[in-house]
Amino acid sequence: MRNFTFQNQTKIIFGKGQIQKTGCEVASFGKKVLMVYGKGSIKRNGIYDQVVASLNAERLTIVEFPGVKSNPVLSHTRKGIDLAKREGVDVVLAVGGGSVIDSAKTIAAGAKTEDDVWDYFSQGKTIQDALPILTVVTVSASASEMNSAAVITKEEGARKFSIRSPFIQPKTSILDPETLFTLSHEYSAYSAVDAITHMLEGYFNNKEPNSPLQDRLVEGLIKTIMESTETILREPVNYDARANMMWAATLAFNGLTTAGMGKVSLPAHMIEHSLSALYDIAHGAGLSIVLPGWMMYAIEKNPARFARLSLEIFGITDNDNFKAGVEGITRLKEWFSSIGSPVSLREAAIPEKDIDKIAQNAYVLAEAWGLTDYSETVITDILRRCD
């Protein structure tokens, strides 16, 4: 295990009825709150009313900023920054999933600077300050509620880039599994894919050759997510399944599973960002297309690692590591398909003729992330395995 420092400042309030604590938590950071949310689902399922009632109970001034879309865009986020500055808000509250939380993080950083917030994404400029951020989670997938990262798409040029800073780590996140009861079949499936991919990227792309503790942690979380998702798709209001999924997705990408693993890279995410930037496909749907293709490319470098995953997740045994690994990849792809997530570019109506364009777009991010092994040629090879 490599040397590491693990520090996670986010306070998690988990369980039934915990949304009522939102106002008290927000009030400890200020009196005027920018409430960021999506297209209106929280008004239809009652979460909006619960949050507003809690904020009103603390006599907080609420400035609403709705309209965040899946795959949040820079132009909308800039409007949020302008609103936060104009209203002089003290704190930002995100009520939603990863897209809403990422928008809130970007707004919180942009509200404390005169710089163009996109410079933090595209030029590596360091965030020096941000408004405090709290979240009420309604989609469990990205762990944005307990990590210091955010992703935004700039429409011009279709650039989907990320930032990371301790200043944008949420102070408090409220996780009530009952908020997931009305989550659609599609997004319940995409959430599972996202969380699993976060863990497998670290599982395969790290610098530590001997990591039994982290391996078992990842494998156990993957099994839990798969089992919980299968139950959720049959029984959408099964509290225990939603609760297990909600907490597992948070643990999947809050820094715990990669502690001691050295530098970790995310090549499947790098390629998927181009799919969602160019075609506005749901992030989890894009990952279920890219991940199996990337795995088929990567297995040749370390078949024993893939054979281990096959054994631990699917019970596959074969003296030939490569054959065992390929069988595991096939089973994972079949599982993605079984829960209703697309597993090929064709299923997502992305034409084969666009592969070169996608590879060119992805290579820009590969350079930004320092993924030197991923040339346009390599990315094109991986994408052809996804068709």
pLDDT in tens, 164-197: 999 999 999 999 999 999 999 999 999 999 999 9
Q: Same domain for 29 and 100? A: yes
35 Rama sector, left if φ>0, alpha if ψ -120 to 50, beta otherwise? beta
205 and 160 share one domain: no
Q: CATH no. for residue 127?
A: 3.40.50.1970
Asked if residue 193 and residue 163 are part of one domain, the reply reads no
The pLDDT value recorded for residue 124 is 83
Whether residue 267 is contained in a domain is answered as yes
pLDDT > 70: what percent of the chain?
Answer: 100
Give the helix ranges, DSSP H, for 58-144: 74-87, 98-110, 118-122
- Single residue among 137, 153, 179 that ends a domain in this structure: 179
The angle subtended at Cα 94 by Cα 88 and Cα 98, nearest 5°, is 135
Q: Please give the structure tokens belonging to residue 280.
A: 């506005």
Q: Is residue 3 part of a domain?
A: no
Domain CATH number, residue 276: 1.20.1090.10
- CA 249, 254, 260, 264 torsion-angle sign: positive
Residue 204 is encoded by which pair of tokens?
A: 């395969």
Both 299 and 329 in a single domain? yes
Mark whether 217 and 355 lie in a shared domain.
yes
Predicted confidence at residue 353, as pLDDT, reads 97
Asked if the structure places residue 2 within a domain, the reply is no
Question: What is the C-alpha separation between 120 and 317, in angstroms, rounded?
Answer: 47
Is a pLDDT exceeding 90 seen at residue 205? yes
If we measure between CA atoms, which residue out of 278, 277, 296, 276 comes closest to residue 342? Answer: 276
CA distance 224 to 14: 18
Among residues 179, 199, 214, which one ends one of the domains? 179
Decide: 35 and 64 in contact? Cβ < 8 Å: yes
Q: Is the CA virtual torsion 122, 126, 131, 136 positive or negative?
A: positive
β-pair type (159-164, 149-154) = antiparallel
Contact 276, 182 (CB under 8 A): no
Residue 1 falls inside a structural domain:
no
Percent of the chain with pLDDT over 90: 98
Task: Say if 6 falls within a structural domain.
Answer: no
Number of domains in the chain: 2
Q: How many CA atoms lie within 13 A of 384 on its CB side?
A: 8
Range of the domain at 42: 11-179
Q: What is the pLDDT of residues 237-270, one digit of tens each?
A: 999 999 999 999 999 999 999 999 999 999 999 9
Mean pLDDT of the chain: 97
Q: Do 120 and 202 share a structural domain?
A: no
What single letter denotes the amino acid at residue 86?
R
User: Based on the domain organization, do 299 and 359 belong to the same domain?
Assistant: yes
Q: Is the pLDDT of residue 363 over 90?
A: yes
Position 63 pLDDT exceeds 90: yes
Residue 201 and residue 168 share a domain: no
Asked, for residue 49, whether it belongs to a domain, the answer is: yes
What is the CB neighbour count within 10 angstroms for residue 255?
17
Tell me the pLDDT tens digit for each residue of 286-331.
Answer: 999 999 999 999 999 999 999 999 999 999 999 999 999 999 999 9
Q: What are the beta bridge partners of residue 134?
A: 93, 172
> Please, which pLDDT band fits residue 380 given cuts at 50, 70 and 90?
very high
Domain boundary (179, 194, 214) is at: 179
- Burial track 37-76 (b if 16+ CB lie within 10 A, e otherwise): bbeebbeebebbebbbebbeeeebeebebbebebbbbbeb
Judgement on whether residues 355 and 224 belong to the same structural domain of the protein = yes
Is residue 5 a part of any domain in this protein?
no
pLDDT (tens digit per residue) in 12-52: 999 999 999 999 999 999 999 999 999 989 999 999 999 99
362 part of a folded domain: yes
Q: Are residues 211 and 94 in the same domain?
A: no
Residue 71: pLDDT above 90? yes
pLDDT tens track for 269-283? 999 999 999 999 999
Residues 130 and 272 in one domain: no
- pTM of the complete model: 0.96
Question: Are residues 164 and 42 part of one domain?
Answer: yes
